[in-house]
Every structure is written in C-alpha cells, then in structure tokens.
Amino acid sequence: MKKHHIIIPLTLIMLLSSSNFVYSETIFENESNSSIQVEKIGINQQIVDNSSLKIVYPLSSVPVIVEKGGKFTIQIEASEFDTLYAYISTAYEPVVDNIWLDIDNVWSTEGTWCINVSVPSITPEELYNITVLLDQGSILLSASQPRAVSVVEEFTDDFSFIHITDLHVGDPRGFSESIWKTIGLKSIKRCIHEINLLKPDFVIISGDLVYGQLYPFEYSKEYKICYEMIQMFDVPTYLCPGNHDGYRRPREDGLKFWTEYFGPHYYSFNYGNYHFQAINSYDLPASRRLCIFFIPLNWGGSIQDEQFQWIENDLVENKGDLNFMFIHHNPLWETKQDSLVGRSYKNREQLLSLIEQNNVDMVLAGHVHFDNVTIVNDTIFITTTTPESSIDTEDGYWGYRLINIENGEISSYNYKDPKYSIPSYKIKAKYLTLKKIKIENNLETDINAYIKFVLPKNNYEVDNGEIVMQREDEQLVELYVEVIVEQNSTMTIQASIIKK
C-alpha cells in the first residue's frame, strides 16, 4: 500500500450536541444579529425572512468553492427589488467573520436573478453561510443557505476528497452489524466526525441518504434528520440521489423531498481545473418508483434520455484536467435483478460509451454496500461501502474512501489494496480540557492532524504542532494547529499562554 498523509481538523462540534446545530433557512433570526448587519450597510430597515426570496445556488448540498479574491455567481428567485446586498458568515464556528461580497453584475434569465460577486482577498479560508438581502423600501427581505461557500487560498494540483455513500438514515438493517452503534444513528455521526477530522477539500455523497421503505410518511421525518446531519460536516458536501431517496409512497414522493431539501437531481461543478458530474441513476417516472406495502417495484438503475443528453453535453463542453462522475448505481453492472418487473438499467451501456469516449478518469458509486475497484479502458470505477447499513461480504466493514490528487494525477484511492476503503472507528480526537486535545490514530498509516482550539483571547503557543492560522473576536481566539500523528499511536496537543 502506498503510504499517504491525511489532514485532520477538530472543531468545537465535538463539544456540542447535534441538536444544537442550526439548519433553518434563516441564519440571522435574532434582533441583535439583524441590527449588526443593518448598521454595516448603513441603513435602518427591518430584516424579514420571506418565502418570496429563495437562493437557488449555491446550496449546502451544491456549494461553491472559490479562491480568495475570486468570483462566483449567486442565483435567486425573487420579485423586483431596488438594491441587493450579499454577505458570507463563518459556518458553525464560535468566532464568526461576516464578510460583505462586492456585487459586480446583476441580470435576469428565465425568471431567475443571477448575481456575480467577488470575494475579498482578505477572507480567511473557511466554510461559510451565505445571505442575500433585497431592499424593498421599508424592509429588507432575507434568505440564507448554510455551508454554501468555501473559500480557499488558491486552487492547486494537490487536493483530496472523501467518497461516502449509502448513509441510509432510518435503515434498521445496521442492527445486524452492531445494534448499539446503529441506535441513534451513532455510526453515521461517527463517520461524519472522522471525515471532519480528515478534513478533505470536499465530500461526495453518492445516494441513499435516507431509507424511505418502512412506514407511512417516513420521508417527512428522515429527510429532515438527514438535512440536519449534513450540516454537521465541516467541509463542503456534494450530493446525488439513490433509489432509497426516491420511492413513490402513498402521499409521499421521495424525489420531491430531495428537491425541497437538497435541490437539483443532477448537476456539475469544477474544483479548479477538475470537473465533477453528479448523476441521478434513479431517474424514473413516479409510476415506476412505486413502493407498495414496504416493497419497491424497482430499486435498480435508470437514466432517462433527457438527463443522458445533459450528461453528454456537459462532458463535451467541460473538459477538465481530470474528469470525475459520481452516481449511485455503478454503470458496469446490470441491475435487472433489482426490479420486480424485470426492468433493465436504462442507458447503462450508452453511459459507458460516453465515459470511454470522453476520457472520464473516475466513476464513484454505491448501492451494494461493499468495496470494489474495477479499471476499464483507463477509467477507475469505484464502489464504496456503507457507514451504517448491512454488509453482504465476509471481508466488508463500515467505512468511507479517501481519494488523493497529487501533481494533477490520481495518486491513491485505497486505504489497503486492492479495493478497501478506510474503516470507521479507527481515529478520534477528544478534548481533555479546553487547552488539551488527545488524538488516537489506529490506522495503519500516519496522519497529518489539523485541529482547532477555542480559547479566551490571549497570545498562545502549542506543543507537538504548528499554529497555521488564527481568527479572533473581542473575547475568543480560534487556533488552527497542524500536527503529525504516527500510525497506531496516540498524541496529546496542548496550548499554553506565551509568557512575557
């Protein structure tokens, strides 16, 4: 196995209960915060959250990653307005930076307003919420999206991302693996915690986020819980749906819930010069997604012609230095056996032809709850195991996969050859005190640990690590510290006040 380093962050999330996370559409709900924002733009108007204003892009499930000083486009649905403002605010951090964005251009197309904005070059590298304010005379209409903007120093040819799939919020099948880890979704939360510790540049989740197959009105509960859990990630997250996300139940349509909570069913994005496509492989009419008495008629793959044409056009028009696709059903495998009415995987072979013709470098999939790596015509087809549900192979386990890009090439994608992902429950970090953190690394590789201390404002130094950035307000200082933790070892990192 090629030895590689892993970057790990530790945030104040470890000190908080998951029930304390903010996940509503409005970030600034209290009077004091609203007053702060009003003073900054020099006006005296009430800020009102209003359904007539909606952010279409970026979203917490389809974020934008932008360089300091870079530009991106916000898309909103809104009526006419006089003046528009936009700002970003640090997501789920005790030290909050509010950064106003420069508005470069505004135009309307097909009922959607597009706002081209610039990020100030002094903006710290962090994950941000985004808020848009529309001046309508006596009031300011407000809409926000959490975790929708990630600011980086610059795009490079060295980066990493995590592939995780089949979270299955609400799935009872994990009980067969570990009832105590499955109760309360502990195993999913543990994977999110570990991925936050790994701090990749972003995370890809390829479908089956919820279960949707047990009881009436299940989706209304599971989608809300899943949305809240996604907010626990400290890094940008990109999602695509799977079959469990889209069943048509009595008075419930899973894909309509997906649209409400997560937005588009398929899309693409760039990370610097690298192109990524999110595909919906459960693309079926509602009548063919029926789930009757807890039994779905079809749970295999399908890509309808409209989406297939979009995939083809997007591949032709957006060539990256490397090209990636993430999808729930691996197109290498026919899924006719996953249909009670014998439906084949529509457009599967045509998709494989597109992948070969357009030199797609990697395809990431899930669905089957085991690890697999198959290379066909120089394309790496990867399937990753589940963090929560049943495991159907003797060598399987719960986990997630780290993909590393070095010098513009895919350098590693296995924790262990020939196919295995990172097993969960192997790393963790724990506050012993506010100034002392213990990190356990039970993996068979060294890790680069990236941790945070939140302390009363003062001048600090740390042992066993290097302070690489700090942010502060009137009362607190947040220290970003990097350390190396060797394989199968434990390390303690302590911050102390610098003595004069």
Q: Domain extents for the chain?
A: 22-152, 159-423, 426-497
Could you tell me if 131 and 144 are in contact, meaning their C-beta atoms sit under 8 angstroms apart? yes
What is the C-alpha separation between 59 and 278, in angstroms, rounded?
14
What is the C-alpha separation between 200 and 238, in angstroms, rounded?
13
- Report, at the CATH architecture level, how domain 22-152 is classified: Sandwich (2.60)
- Assign 223 to helix, strand or coil: helix
Could you tell me if 454 and 95 are in contact, meaning their C-beta atoms sit under 8 angstroms apart? yes
CATH fourth-level superfamily of 159-423: Metallo-dependent phosphatases (3.60.21.10)
Cα dihedral sign, 247-245-389-4: positive
Q: What is the pTM of this model?
A: 0.91
C-alpha Rg value of the chain to the nearest Å:
23
Beta strands in 211-282 (DSSP E): 237-240, 248-249, 252-253, 267-271, 274-278
Query: In a structure prediction context, what are the per-residue pLDDT tens digits for the chain, which is 500 residues long?
Result: 333 333 333 332 222 223 332 222 222 233 333 333 444 555 556 677 767 899 999 999 999 999 999 999 999 999 878 889 999 999 999 999 999 999 999 999 887 999 999 999 999 999 999 999 998 777 889 999 999 999 999 999 999 999 999 999 999 999 988 988 888 899 999 999 999 999 999 999 999 999 999 999 999 999 999 999 999 999 999 999 999 999 999 899 999 999 999 999 999 999 999 999 999 999 999 999 999 988 999 999 999 999 999 999 999 999 999 999 999 999 999 999 999 999 999 999 999 999 999 999 999 999 999 999 999 999 999 999 999 999 989 999 999 999 999 999 999 999 999 999 999 999 999 999 999 999 999 999 999 888 999 999 999 999 999 999 999 999 999 999 999 999 999 999 999 999 87
Per-residue pLDDT reduced to its tens digit, 274-322: 999 999 999 999 999 999 988 999 999 999 999 999 999 999 999 999 9
Q: What is the pLDDT of residue 442?
A: 98
Size of the chain, expressed as the number of residues it contains: 500
What is the C-alpha separation between 486 and 36, in angstroms, rounded?
45
Burial class of residue 468 in the structure, from the number of CB atoms within 10 Å of its CB (0-12 exposed, 13-18 middle, 19+ buried): exposed
What is the C-alpha separation between 171 and 423, in angstroms, rounded?
20
- Tokens 């045509």 belong to residue: 350
Closest CA relative to residue 351, chosen from 299, 303, 282, 284: 303
